[in-house]
Chain A
Amino acid sequence: MSQPESLAGVQEAENALKSLQIGAETDAKKGDKLKVDILLKPTGNAPIMKKKKWTVESDKPVGWIIEFVKKYLKLDSNEKLFVYVNQTFAPAPDQTVKNLYECYNADNKLVLHYCTTQAWG
Chain B
Amino acid sequence: MANDREILREVWEGKLPVCFKLDPDEVVELQQPDPFYLMVPRMSYFPLVTDKIRKHFVKYVANGKQEQEMWLKCNGQPMKWHLPIGLLYDLLIDSEDEALPWVISVHFDKFPDSKIYRLSNKETVESYFMSCIKEADVLKHKTQIATNMQKKDHTQLWLGLQNDKFDQFWAVNRKLMEVSGESDHFKYIPFRCYLEDSYKQKLVKPVAEDGSRKTLQHLLKEVFPDKPNVTVKIHGLIVPLDTPLQWMSEHLSYPDNFLHLCVV
Q: Report which A residues bind B (CB closer than 8 A).
A: 21-22, 24, 63, 85-86, 88-96, 99, 102-104, 118, 120-121
Instruction: From B128, B138, B188, give the contact of A92 (CB < 8 A).
Output: B128
Q: From residue B129, how far is it (CB to closest CB) to chain A in Å?
A: 11
Given contacts A103-B203, A118-B127, contact A91 B135 (CB under 8 A): yes
Interface members, chain B 92-147 (any A CB < 8 Å): 113-114, 117, 127-128, 130-132, 134-135, 138-139, 144, 147
**Are A89 and B131 in contact, with the CB atoms below 8 A?**
yes
Q: With a CB–CB cut-off of 8 A, which chain A residues contact B128?
A: 90, 92
A21 touches B113 (CB 8 A): yes
Q: Is the CB of B202 within 8 A of A96?
A: no
Complex contact B199–A99 (CB within 8 A): yes
A108 CA to B154 CA, complexed, in Å:
33
Q: A90-B128, A103-B202, A104-B138 are in contact. List 5 more A-B contacts (CB 8 A).
A: A22-B113, A88-B147, A89-B138, A92-B128, A120-B147
CB distance from A117 to the nearest CB of B (A): 13
Q: A39 to B139: give the CA distance in the assembly, Å.
A: 21
C-beta contact mask, B196-208 vs A, less than 8 Å → 1, else 0? 0011111100000
A-B contact pairs, 14 of them (CB 8 A): A63-B117, A88-B138, A88-B147, A89-B132, A89-B134, A89-B135, A89-B138, A90-B127, A93-B117, A94-B80, A95-B201, A99-B200, A102-B201, A103-B202
Give me the 6 closest cross-chain CB pairs, A-B, nearest first.
A99-B201, A89-B134, A21-B114, A89-B135, A89-B131, A90-B131
**C-alpha spacing A103/B198, complex, angstroms:** 16
CA distance A24 to B138 in the complex (A): 29
Q: Which residues of A contact B82 (CB under 8 A)?
A: 92
